[in-house]
Structure 1
Amino acid sequence: MTARRAALALALATPAIARAQGAWRPDRPVRVVVPFAPGGATDVVARALAETVGAQLGQTIVIENRAGGAAGLIGSEAVAKSAPDGHTVLLHSNAHVIAPSLVSRMPFDVLGDFASVAHLGRVPQVLVVNNRLPITDMASLLAWLRANSGKVDFASAGIGSGNHLASEIFRAAVPDVQMEMVQFRGGGPAMAAVIAGNAHMCIDPLASAIGHIRGGSVRAIAVAGPTRAAVLPDVPSASESGLAAWNAEAWFGAFVPVRTPASAQATLNAAFNAGMQRLAPRLSEMGVEVQPQYASQAAFDAFVRADLPRVAAVLRRAGVQPE
């Protein structure tokens, strides 16, 4: 689906806030908590949407990075315990549903403590390497990994992140290679480590990786999954590269404390969907694909509830245990 058709479908699926009679409106700035360090994909998407969503709400959107804890648990917990009045939103990645499978002691219930407000697009993940390594494609990467087994530093955005999930699936696909997973406080710091040569490789969503790839500070080897990414047409897919078992993508969403009034949830849903509609072409250039089929809260909630056990099954098959 083209960005233009996606925007049209989303416009038809989402009522404009201006037409909603008696709709809840925020009476002060809305705090959007990103539970990772600046520079990662979740942060990039949040900042891309902030101005447009704020205009829809008639209030300023204040982005607050609350990095720390596995899968961004510190920021997520802060939102779960915040006043359920619509003025605090969690903008998270699919790490939201990954965390329960990788963290043995969760400080909140993903389904019981949060309401799903808006799906904010899906994005392929891409494996990149330090550009000074003698690696140009998957074949040379696998040869280098096997020659350096036990000496490879594999940067990750932290335990329970979407990058971590993609990395564990990759490791399971090449079981004859030993790699040290180095956990950072978000995708931004993980990518910075690869650029600086402090880690050899990482997997990152296109939304945050694409600028580094185009700028030449890292080298893209393959896109996870069966197909190429439209914004990186010269980078082969994992399936094309002979690694069909490596299939992972990320998604983003907005969540609020579960007791937030339904009227506030509806207003936020409409504002975020309108923001996605307006920014669809720009988001597409970042590799983020708008998913109009999940525009309603009910559809997004069903998506989240289905993804939770799916992720758990993937990690079980990969032999990954909670920490």
Structure 2
Amino acid sequence: MIRRRQTLALALATTAAPSLVRAQGSAAWRPTRPIRLIVPFAPGGSNDIVGRIVGDAAGQILGQSIVIESRAGAGSVIGTEVAARAPADGYTLLINSAHATVPAIVARVPYDAINDFVGIAIAGFSPHVLVASPQLPITTAQELVALLKANPGRYNLATAGIGSGVHVAAELFRSVAGIQAELVHYRGGGPSVAALMANESQFGTPTMASSLGQIRGGSIRALAVASAERSPALPNVPSAPEAGLPRFIFEEFFPILAPKGTPPEVVAALSTAFQTAINQSADKMNEMAGVRPRAGYETPAKVMDLVREGVEQYTAILRAAGVQPE
């Protein structure tokens, strides 16, 4: 039943964007060389995984390869600045699930997260997951909270870098659970999950995409999904309310963006190609990364509206947790 509803939603999403299809047909823009899709994190994280899945499908539609370029550093700021300063010709794109979190937590951002970009598509949405090293003597979220409260500051909490969505999720967990732990910022979701596997950090709030394989393989232990309901990708893992953390609700979204000034006909062609690719890749993204598309973000304006709302939401979460920009 869930898959049937998803299929219907994706069909509606496809038919909801006729203007994009017409725009592409009238503009007839087609790339004549490979397009680079900048991932501002280390390989193996959620953006890398989703970018490769969607980029491969979009490249086939456009008739040119979409090459993933990893530009990790500074919680996605380095790679995102490269994208913002790139020629606005359609040959440089960005996928960054931390795009809306960075302005909320980084004091001096060298670009404008909203005004320096134009929206192409939203690849999908995915909740974060509360996980722990199997070496910790706990099996539930409440046991983890009790252990942390009994040992304030003793255990490390892994993030994917300052300003990343994982960082915001970690601050939200610290706030709602009322615990103290040492934040350790890694250079992306992949390295942060590797640290959990090695017990270098003892618990974390990674994205589902970057941790799904390790959870299924048993190398890290999932305690709760940060959503109001269970995820079809991890049906045996309790939701946040079921785990006793009803306010630990946090999901990432994956905006695909182009530099401001990209010609409208190029934006329309890219948007149409990526929307089609996202719909075609829905099952694969859910299976490999726990990421599901959602209707309602089929225009550049809607994409940027979501980014703007995200900046406001994440800023509110962090300020409520007592976190100021660094």
Q: Report deviation, 1:147.
A: 2.4
1:257-296 alignment, distance < 5 Å: 257-285=259-287, 286-296=289-299
Residue 228 of structure 2 corresponds to residue 223 of structure 1: no
Q: Name the residue aligned to 1:247.
A: 249
Q: Name the residue aligned to 1:72.
A: 76
Return closer, same or farther for 1:19/1:184 CA change in 2, 3 Å cut-off: closer
Aligned length: 320
Give 1:172's aligned amino acid. Answer: S
C-alpha distance in 1, partners of 2:181/2:70?
A: 29
Residue 144 of structure 2 corresponds to residue 141 of structure 1: yes
Give 1:34's aligned amino acid. Answer: V
C-alpha distance in 1, partners of 2:308/2:155?
A: 35
C-alpha distance in 2, partners of 1:157/1:319?
A: 20
Give 2:317's aligned amino acid. Answer: V
Q: Name the residue aligned to 1:37.
A: 42
Cα deviation, 1:211-249, whole Å, max 9, x if unaligned, reads 111111100000113211122111111111111121111
Q: Name the residue aligned to 2:16.
A: 13
Q: Name the residue aligned to 1:314.
A: 317
Whether the 8 Å contact between 2:73 and 2:187 is mirrored in structure 1 is yes
- 3-state secondary structure, aligned to 2:204: strand
Residue 28 of structure 2 corresponds to residue 26 of structure 1: no
Q: Which moved more, 1:160-169 or 1:225-234?
A: 225-234
Whether the 8 Å contact between 1:17 and 1:56 is mirrored in structure 2 is no
Gap runs ≥5 in structure 2: none
Q: Name the residue aligned to 2:193.
A: 191
C-alpha distance in 2, partners of 1:180/1:144?
A: 14
C-alpha distance in 2, partners of 1:297/1:83?
A: 18
Q: Which moved more, 1:163-172 or 1:225-234?
A: 225-234
Q: Name the residue aligned to 1:170.
A: 173
Residue 95 of structure 2 corresponds to residue 111 of structure 1: no
C-alpha distance in 2, partners of 1:138/1:125?
A: 14
- 3-state secondary structure, aligned to 1:118: strand
Q: Say which of 83, 86, 94 aligns to 2:90.
A: 86
Q: Report deviation, 1:135.
A: 1.3
Q: Name the residue aligned to 1:48.
A: 53
TM-score, length basis structure 1: 0.95
Q: Give identity over the alignment, percent.
A: 43
TM-score, length basis structure 2: 0.95
Q: Say which of 303, 306, 310 aligns to 1:303.
A: 306
Gap runs ≥5 in structure 1: none
Q: Report deviation, 1:6.
A: 2.6
C-alpha distance in 2, partners of 1:126/1:17?
A: 40
Give 1:226's aligned amino acid. Answer: A
- 3-state secondary structure, aligned to 1:83: coil
Give 2:231's aligned amino acid. Answer: A
Q: Report deviation, 1:194.
A: 0.3
Q: CA RMSD in A?
A: 1.5
Displacement over 6 Å in runs of 4+: none
C-alpha distance in 1, partners of 2:77/2:296?
A: 28
Whether the 8 Å contact between 2:24 and 2:269 is mirrored in structure 1 is no
C-alpha distance in 1, partners of 2:278/2:130?
A: 26
Q: Report deviation, 1:11.
A: 2.0
